[in-house]
Structure 1
Amino acid sequence: MPYYSKIQDKRTAEGLLRLKQGLSEAKVPKRNVSDSILLATWNIREFGDSKQGLRTDEPLYYIAEIINAFDLVAVQEVRSNLKLLNKLMSILGGWWKVVYTDVTLGMRGNDERLTFLYDSRKISFGGLAGEIVIPPKRTKEKVLTPANQLARTPYLAGFRSGWFKFTLCVNHILYGKGISVDPNRLEEIQVIANTLADMTKDKHAWAKNMILLGDFNIFNPKDVTMKAIIDAGFIVPKKLQSVTSNIADDPKKGKHYDQIAFISPDQKDKLELCESGVFNFFKYVYRMEDEEEYAEAMGSKYSDKDIEERTKHYKTWRTFQMSDHLPMWIELGIDYSKSYLERKASTTITVDPETSTQP
């Protein structure tokens, strides 16, 4: 569990108790030693320097509590200032480890890193890590032309859990225009999905199991942006296609920005999806009934407004404390011992008596 010893206020303790109950109510599975792994992706809004300044300790405890419910979490929007990330890691405890990219340079990079946080008691870093560079294109005249690179360079890393090896690639796809199918957004999704699918076909691939996750800025699962992931060969769980992951006042206007997809070409040890979902933390912390509790923290930007505008301000302000995205998660079965033993048991082993060293 995270370190709670430095909590000084009753409100944070009460919020953590509600979160614990909420994770149970949301049917997020309990973590186990070897049967499955729990993976999550979470765009934590401007985690570092932001329009609202640095977060206080209270939301960091809540964020740590949510992350601790999973074995590995891919986080987007970690900023160049690592002060908050370092504080979050100290709350999570020394067994939690982190690997992250440098900041993608240029305006489109938005001062963001891509990050993996993982519990080293369950997950081990496999040594493979790198930012994906899209290879150049070859024309009919056999001339190489540079490929367009993604606005925020995708981050790929290899991990192990027991004898299960898998590769993760986290993305924060370009938003572009506020329309369901921005051509630049579609191109980014197509390029990264096809590039990763091709990597799994390489006989020297570090791992055959490839998981693609992050913020794809997909508006609707029926859009060609989602189709691009599936057409590349990835499986997107039906349950995740049916839930929205952004914070919206009207659930009917919710978007399917965040997604988790996987390719598992190895028929022997094929990834097995157990459960999946999203977790709405605003049901338990920074609730609408808590608005007056945070009036002082919001200051004059809140108190100088009329009642209706205050509530609107609170709804936005709380997303800078927690996030404007919900964490999305999947549980994958990873215990292949039975199928492995069955294959061994069905194999006939012959021994040459002349060369055998057995007594």
Structure 2
Amino acid sequence: MYWQLKYWRKDDRERAIDHISALRSHIAQTVPRRTASNTLLLATWNVRDFDSNKFGQGPRLAESFHYIAEVVAAFDLVAMQEVNEDMGPFEKVMDLLGPSWRYIATDVTEGPSGNGERMVFLFDSNKVQFKHIAGEIVLPKSSLVDGGHQFARSPFLVRFQSGWFKFNLCTVHLYYGDDSGEGYTRRVAEIDSIAKCLKKRADEDGQNYILLGDMNVVNPDDETMKALKKHKFILPADLTLDNDQLRWTSNMGRNKHYDQIAFLVRKGELELGPSEHNAGVLNYYKAVYTEDEAEAYFPLGKANGKWPGTPAKRKTYFTEEWRTWQMSDHVPLFIELRIDFTKEYLKRIREGD
């Protein structure tokens, strides 16, 4: 919904349109094209503190909402983490996405670990159907994390269908903790608990399960990843046999593996789409809020009182801090899945199955 830009000041309008055009071009080079019925583009994105400004780094500029909407619209279904209690800013994104887009959100998780956050699924209803099952996962007493904890933020599971593909989609924002000690132990335990829970369900009901979100996985060889894979989850790197670790790093610095997409799917129902780049990340900072734009945004952002006094320091602050509160300190991780199984179905019934 670009029409709102017509009423912006000339300088703001031109800057935003130039960035939107650059972002659209980068998306076209990075993300497979959406299809009507052949493939599903699924993504997970932790959008930093959206959008309470409780840390005093914002507020987000009007143009940022356009860029966030442009990123979401590159996909068919997006799991978004760190949406705050006040849904007003989120509704601005929905308005920009247009009338076919829907969302399903959790309530905020109570307590300090919950941080006042919601988890949300955004989806294009022309492509994805909500199948009327949704709920937050609460562990039974016998399965509590690390001796007595529920999850820091309750995982959210929703049943969807796109084309032939029916699946239960669970999004998480798991405990961050530390890289050692008790915090690390709980970090591993949360991943293990949700993976074990979904594996048990899949064994019992025979349905497809996808687990995605900010899992705070340290690296592919760490115990955090082993806790996920020991329950037979398959990850995009497994599917592509690609050893390029940069392809799966989703933090702004491109050196962490926090965000993941993992599958427990029935035989024959997990197949990547035909695009050359059918899994990876979308680094929008190649198109918007680029590293050389600190001085251009200094007049717009300096009201927060945190911008340093020299151009060199302002560039560092802009790159490492300010722009992450406009977009995020994570970039979306995505995968293209095949969802048209017509040929296989017709073959089976032709053969009498």
**1:18-68 CA-partner distances (Å, limit 9, x unpaired):** 011101222x11111111100000000000202224312101100100100
- State whether structure 2 residue 14 is matched by structure 1 residue 10: yes
What is the aligned partner in structure 1 of residue 328 from structure 2? 323
Greater alpha carbon shift after TM alignment, 179-188 vs 105-114? 179-188
Task: Please give the secondary structure, in 2, of the residue aligned with 1:183.
Answer: helix
Alignment partners' CA distance in 2, 1:151 and 1:302: 30
Letter matched to residue 201 of structure 1 = D
**1:303-322 CA-partner distances (Å, limit 9, x unpaired):** 65223321122121000000
Of the two, which has the highest radius of gyration? Answer: 1
Query: Structure 1 residues 6 and 340, CA, compared in 2 at 3 Å: closer, same or farther?
Result: same
Name stretches of at least 5 consecutive residues in structure 2 with no aligned partner. Answer: none
CA contact (8 A) 1:240 1:276 kept: no
1:80 to 77, 81, 85: 85
Letter matched to residue 81 of structure 2 = Q
Aligned residue runs from structure 1 range 261-280, under 5 A: 261-264=262-265, 266-267=266-267, 269-274=268-273, 275-280=278-283
> Offset of 1:127 from its aligned partner?
0.3
Instruction: Figure out how many residues of one structure are paired with residues of the other and give that number.
Output: 330
- Taking every aligned residue pair, what percent have the same amino acid on both sides? 42
What is the aligned partner in structure 1 of residue 315 from structure 2? 311
Alignment partners' CA distance in 2, 1:323 and 1:240: 26
**1:157-186 CA-partner distances (Å, limit 9, x unpaired):** 001113321110000011012559811100
Alignment partners' CA distance in 2, 1:328 and 1:5: 29
2:28 to 19, 24, 36: 24
**1:138-197 CA-partner distances (Å, limit 9, x unpaired):** 8xxxxxxx9531000000000111332111000001101255981110000000001011
Query: Structure 1 residues 118 and 172, CA, compared in 2 at 3 Å: closer, same or farther?
Result: same
1:35 to 35, 38, 47: 38
Greater alpha carbon shift after TM alignment, 235-244 vs 65-74? 235-244
Moved over 6 A (4+): none
Alignment partners' CA distance in 1, 2:114 and 2:336: 31
Alignment partners' CA distance in 2, 1:217 and 1:104: 18
Query: Structure 1 residues 240 and 155, CA, compared in 2 at 3 Å: closer, same or farther?
Result: farther
**1:64-86 CA-partner distances (Å, limit 9, x unpaired):** 00100100000000000111111
Aligned residue runs from structure 1 range 176-255, under 5 A: 176-179=177-180, 182-203=184-205, 208-238=207-237, 239=242, 242=245, 243-248=248-253, 251=254, 254-255=255-256
TM-score when normalising by structure 2: 0.89
Alignment partners' CA distance in 1, 2:58 and 2:21: 27
| Superposition CA RMSD, Å | 2.0
Letter matched to residue 4 of structure 2 = K
Alignment partners' CA distance in 2, 1:154 and 1:241: 29
Query: Structure 1 residues 278 and 303, CA, compared in 2 at 3 Å: closer, same or farther?
Result: closer
Larger helix proportion of the pair: 2
CA contact (8 A) 2:58 2:301 kept: no
TM-score when normalising by structure 1: 0.88
Query: Structure 1 residues 262 and 219, CA, compared in 2 at 3 Å: closer, same or farther?
Result: same
Name stretches of at least 5 consecutive residues in structure 1 with no aligned partner. Answer: 139-145, 349-359
What is the aligned partner in structure 2 of residue 166 from structure 1? 167
Letter matched to residue 103 of structure 2 = V
> Offset of 1:12 from its aligned partner?
0.5
Query: Structure 1 residues 191 and 12, CA, compared in 2 at 3 Å: closer, same or farther?
Result: same
What is the aligned partner in structure 2 of residue 106 from structure 1? 111
Letter matched to residue 204 of structure 2 = D
Q: Which has the bigger relative contact order, CA under 8 A and spacing at least 6? A: 2
Query: Structure 1 residues 71 and 202, CA, compared in 2 at 3 Å: closer, same or farther?
Result: same
CA contact (8 A) 1:246 1:255 kept: yes
Query: Structure 1 residues 292 and 127, CA, compared in 2 at 3 Å: closer, same or farther?
Result: same
What is the aligned partner in structure 1 of residue 136 from structure 2? 131
1:54 to 45, 59, 82: 59
